[in-house]
Structure 1
Amino acid sequence: MMLLAAAYQRLGRQAEAEATLTKALTLRPGTTAANVAPPTTGASPVFLAASARVIAAMVGAGLPER
C-alpha cells in the first residue's frame, strides 16, 4: 500500500496518496522513512536513486521521516 501511496503522490493525486498511506500506517504502525529503506549493500547507484525517489514520495504522502 505504501508503494501505491507513493505512486498516487507522484501522479499529483495527493488526497488519494494521503488516504492510502493512512490506511497503510494502520496496518504497519510505527513505520517511518528511516525504517522502510531497502538494503543498500551491493546496490547499484541507479537502484539507490530510485529508492530515494520512492521514499521521498511516501514522505510527500504523509509518511513520517522518523
Structure 2
Amino acid sequence: MTNDPRFQRTEQLLQQAFIQLMGTDGYDKITVMQLINKAQINRTTFYAHYQDKADLLQTL
C-alpha cells in the first residue's frame, strides 16, 4: 500500500463499488467490467491494484 492519495482513492472507489454490487448482484454475478464502470476507472487501473475480484474481496 502506498501513501499516494490517488492510489488510496482508487482502492476506496473499487471497494465501494464492490460492496454496492454485492448487495444487488451477489459475488458470482459481479464482473470486473461492472466494477470498473461503477468505480469509473479503467481496466488497467483495476489490474494495477488487484489480480481479480477475489483479490479485491480479500481487502474488505
> Shorter-normalised TM-score: what interval?
0.3 to 0.5
Q: TM-score, normalised by structure 1?
A: 0.39
Which has the larger Rg? 1
Q: TM-score, normalised by structure 2?
A: 0.42
Q: Which has the higher contact order (CA 8 A, sep 6+)?
A: 1
